[in-house]
Chains A and B, each alone.
Chain A
């Protein structure tokens, strides 16, 4: 029993980071139908900002906020320079550009800070909290889950209750019509990128705190996993990303918790992606929407 609970905690803690990154993926996709492959690398930049802030003696919350601000600016910049000139190009062109931006960020990282993994000093004093039997949860795991849920609620609020959120939904529904109604489409898309990138940065800082190391290629795998989480929950749907992330984390941990299953983790994640794409391409939370003619 304690074993199961402990594994469940492990799964939720990795799953909530996936969820955090998936939120940004899903948002950008929801608005401009672009799978932003550079998202994982924005996550990496966030982790590095968190690392340098910690080295400069800031606490985790200050590092988190600073990383989010820096990455929001970075996301805006990427959107302005790489995606906006291609606004009317075909989707595949933008997709390839996204992959290009991803490589650019990774290699800029290698160029500026070197390829070495850097050890991150403890950002908070981790305290293990004894639940019962042999099950422990540490304070960082609780913070991760808390931050993720909080940011998701905040995001839901922004999208459904604010003016900019209304603009986002309008642009997502029909970009041309939104423009006709006097919505500044470019500003709206920029805001989306800024928010999405800030979420990735939050994920990055938490990742750095949890696994105590940062390197320029660290964003690739979490980025892919978050993509799977977003597809699993239904890409474009905010609560879907949250649930998708948690489910993915728990499934991965579950697979590894079985004796002999330790190498099947990534396999399990990608099998989920394939199954979802075959049987429910719109994801767990997705609705079938008829193509408008």
Chain B
């Protein structure tokens, strides 16, 4: 009993001491306040960790460049990272955590599903949020409530555009008359692309023979692929993410399906090549935000800077993160203060911002109007095929 009391006393003292240390530290950083805090809610682990890590690299490079040139409004930018483990419920939690850490802008997440999970947090707490790569329309415009998500912005084109680009590419360049769509049913992104591909392809006079679905983390696709083989379509559209797409491609080629496969920016990760193998990747096409082979000068200087910093070629996620960070810096500069409301208004007014992926002007739904590229995989390498203006 005595010992128990003693323990409690000691623990209390210790807790207070630790608490006080914590307090004084907080007060210190608050008082100095010479940085503008940007919260980064990214997929550092989990099924699409490649996206989150790559995008954060792009953002860090941009922030480093900005800070080297003296920062924004004479303050340095500071990135506060949090991992959402590629899970929507974690993304919601992380967004709340970052806001309580006093960030003025949120960045992330990379996928539509994880971003959608954080949208309400940003809106409710009135903190501007910029996603660099979530392409689902609902991220910025809530179609169920028919209402704009006032505090949410993006730096990439949206699913309708990606779906349209690939449908037109299939009809015009591949002369496809029939198609099968194989969608990841657990992903808002995948379903978005599927919907708009279907609409445009039908408008072009093509016929959708079947719409099949799988789920994130599935590994065996042979049963459905065997059925797709029976249907013998001209093209197969798989708007999913690299991990499952890699397996789908490999198994499809093993079953003897030699038709072209097409997808979106969700394919764009080095792991796709590891999983599918370069032979299975031949005769596949994707829509994407940029190509490192684009002859544009701005693209070239970015690719060089990125290679120097990280030793690898930047993928689309990296370039989008880079552009989004510059877009935020640009908005803070125009806002004239690190104030959430002013930054929000400045972001909404973005119109002549030129990033690596092209000119970005936000429309009334906070969606950029910008170009897409179509890439073809040849022997495991992405080859620039076409640039399609909106």
Question: Interface of A with B (CB < 8 Å)?
Answer: 3, 6-7, 10-11, 13-14, 110, 114-119, 121-122, 126, 128, 134, 136, 138, 207, 211-213, 218, 221, 252-254, 256-257, 259, 262-263, 265-266
Contact = CB atoms under 8 A, between A and B. Distances in A.
Interface stretch (B242-250, B282-290, B361-369): B242-250
Chain B interface mostly helix, strand, loop or mixed?
helix
Contact of B230 (A3, A11, A213): A3
Interface in B214-264: 214-215, 217, 219-220, 222-224, 226-227, 229-230, 243, 246-247, 250, 254-256
Contacts, number: 91
A122 B277 contact: yes
A10 B255 CA distance: 10
Interface of B: 45-47, 49-50, 185, 210, 212-215, 217, 219-220, 222-224, 226-227, 229-230, 243, 246-247, 250, 254-256, 271, 273-277
A116 B185 contact: no
Instruction: Please list the 10 inter-chain residue pairs (A to B) with the smallest Cβ-Cβ separation, ordered nearest first.
Output: A119-B274, A256-B223, A119-B275, A115-B45, A10-B222, A253-B223, A211-B219, A213-B275, A262-B212, A262-B224
Contact of A119 (B185, B212, B226, B273): B273
Given A11-B223, A262-B224, 9 more contacts: A7-B226, A14-B220, A14-B222, A119-B275, A211-B219, A212-B275, A256-B223, A256-B227, A259-B227
A118 B273 CA distance: 10
Contacts of B277: 119, 121-122, 212
Contact of A256 (B224, B243, B246, B276): B224
Nearest to B50: A116
A126 B280 CA distance: 13
Nearest to B251: A211
Contacts of B273: 119
Contact of B271 (A116, A122, A136): A116
B224 A136 contact: no
Contacts of B271: 116-119
Contacts of A266: 215
B254 A212 contact: no
B349 to A, nearest CB: 39
Given A119-B271, A128-B256, A262 B214 contact: yes
Chain A CB within 10 Å, residue with most, of B50, B223, B273, B274: B223
Given A213-B247, A263-B185, A128 B219 contact: no
A126 B254 contact: yes
A14 B251 CA distance: 13
Contact of B226 (A252, A257, A263): A257
A233 to B, nearest CB: 20
A116 B53 CA distance: 11
Contacts of B220: 10, 14, 211
